[in-house]
Amino acid sequence: MDPTGAAIEHELWQSRLSRFGRVLAVVCLLYPGLNIGFSLWLHRATLFSLVSVLPLLASVTFAALWLLLRGAPRTRAFVLTVELSTLFVGTGALSAMALVLPLVSTPESVVRGALTYMLFGYAVYVPSTARRMLVVASLMTLPLLTCVFLAYRAWDPALHEPPVGLLPKNAAVGQIAPSMTVYCFIWWAVAVAMATAFSRALYGLRKQASDNRRLGQYTLEEKLGEGGMGVVYRATHAMLRRPAAIKLLLPDRTGPTDLARFEREVQQTSRLAHPNTISIFDYGRSAEGVFYYVMEYLDGFDLDELVESDGPLSPARAIHVLAQASGALAEAHALGLIHRDIKPANLVLTERADESDVVKVVDFGLVRTLAPEKGEAAVTNANTITGTPMYMAPEAIMAPDSVDARADLYALGAVGYYLLTGQHVFEGATVLEVCSKHLLEAPVAPSLRLGKPLAQDIEGVVLGCLAKRREDRPATAHALREALLACGDAARYDVEAARAWWRERGAVLRARPKSAPSEGHATMAVDLRGRDESLVVP
């Protein structure tokens, strides 16, 4: 077990022991409490007797187990010492009740029954190996058998009948204590064997479940989404307690090329440090060979969800969103990376403590370098149309191997069109129809699709990004950002407006169930050589 896993196991063991001690303390306190209550009700002169004092002593001992182990983690030696000592003393106090209970009540059965329940409770609630379970049972065995033997040694056949069915009526006094002790030992041995089996099975199942939910120092929690290649989970770092998102590439859905592309995605994305690009923390492979990477957890929603819920954005807010995405792309392009799948679903809107409406560009699964290295063409699927049809530049359809950074700007222009109008640049019944419109048709002005006037500057910027010839688009993502910030509406959506919107609508959109993308909104891979069209990543 790795050090982090051992620390988590230790904390769980200590926490469960503490709670177990609290439960035992309360249960043991019930007997003297009821005894005193009945004494007061019946107006008995003696409120306290040894029968009440012994469970009270056990309650105090188990309360010490609770109090000493609650709170901050203790050392393993300290926890083990407290566990064994308190269980031994508490069990001894309960076992001693066999010496003071009325002999006619068959004292060993009362004590044996109580300790059996206690043993089973420990096996089920406290995570223990079979070895530790046997050690705990051994500590309980010695005081139990000793007290049972002493209790039946004082048995007087002249005053009480021997236990029914266990000894003959004419049994000698010397036979009673050894015989009843052996009977108690057989019963207790069976109980210990059952408790050990329970503990071993439950410990193994819990450990297996824990291992299946842990990757390195991260513990998987709820599933956030699932695509054609991988699954994304919310996770928490074991030591930092920091939330994160983990994407796993499922082995049964991928081949060697997919694994190489997935690993390349995280390596390329980890180079990016822009505040509007999702951060990558770590990556690796699990013991089962599952490749995964850890990224920052975004508590928000994508632009698809935003428009579906609230309709088109105001020009000022659309500019605010697009300018941030342009900044992220400017850094990626400066490092020689093109995203190739910019779309509303890959632009997540979230908030920080100091800023609302923060855009994060996510999912660099189709990222490609402007200067491919040896072997990269095979990894990034040469001669294959890749991207989302609704947001695909003409050159990405006609000559996918020739795309450059301006293909991302075309896609971002299509995103801007969608944000302003609530409609896609081109609609079609099939993927082929949508792609042909990107190649041949001029987009309708956003103001005409919206049915009301828009400022010419923002409309001009969006249409400029959607130019068929890449030379007619903004030269760089930085130039696009500057053009957006120069629009007249750019200053009309400020920090206070963003905070007001998030107070009113943020929690509502976060709580909305996620929906699967339709065919036109999903990332496609079309092999131009074999015309093998398939969905690969929602």
The string of pLDDT tens digits covering residues 314-369 is 999 999 999 999 999 999 999 888 888 899 999 999 988 788 889 999 877 555 55
Average pLDDT over residues 293-320: 91
Whether 45 has a pLDDT exceeding 60, the answer reads no
pLDDT at 135: 87
**CB hemisphere CA count around 270 (13 angstroms):** 13
The full 3-state SS of 476-489, as one line of letters, equals: CHHHHHHHHHCCCC
Residue 174 pLDDT class (50, 70, 90 cuts): low
- Which among 395, 269, 282 is positioned nearest to 339, based on CA atoms? 269
Torsional sign, CA 476, 364, 243, 502? positive
- Which among 79, 185, 60 is positioned nearest to 132, based on CA atoms? 79
User: What's the token pair of residue 188?
Assistant: 């207790």
How do residues 477-494 score in pLDDT, each as one tens digit?
Answer: 999 999 999 999 998 887
User: What's the token pair of residue 90?
Assistant: 């508490």
What CA–CA distance (Å, rounded) separates 509 from 420? 19
User: What does each C-alpha distance from 507 to 345, 351, 495, 517 come to in angstroms?
Assistant: 19, 11, 18, 22
pLDDT at 511: 74
What CA–CA distance (Å, rounded) separates 392 from 537? 15
How do residues 67-102 score in pLDDT, each as one tens digit?
Answer: 999 888 888 899 999 999 999 998 888 888 877 775
Residue 196 pLDDT class (50, 70, 90 cuts): confident
Helix, strand, coil percentages, rounded to 5, for the chain: 55, 15, 30
Beta-bridge mates of residue 384? 527
What CA–CA distance (Å, rounded) separates 14 from 33? 29
Q: Which of 341, 357, 363, 489 is catalytic?
A: 341
Give CA angle at 470 (428, 533), nearest 5°: 40
Residue 248 pLDDT class (50, 70, 90 cuts): confident
341 an active-site residue? yes
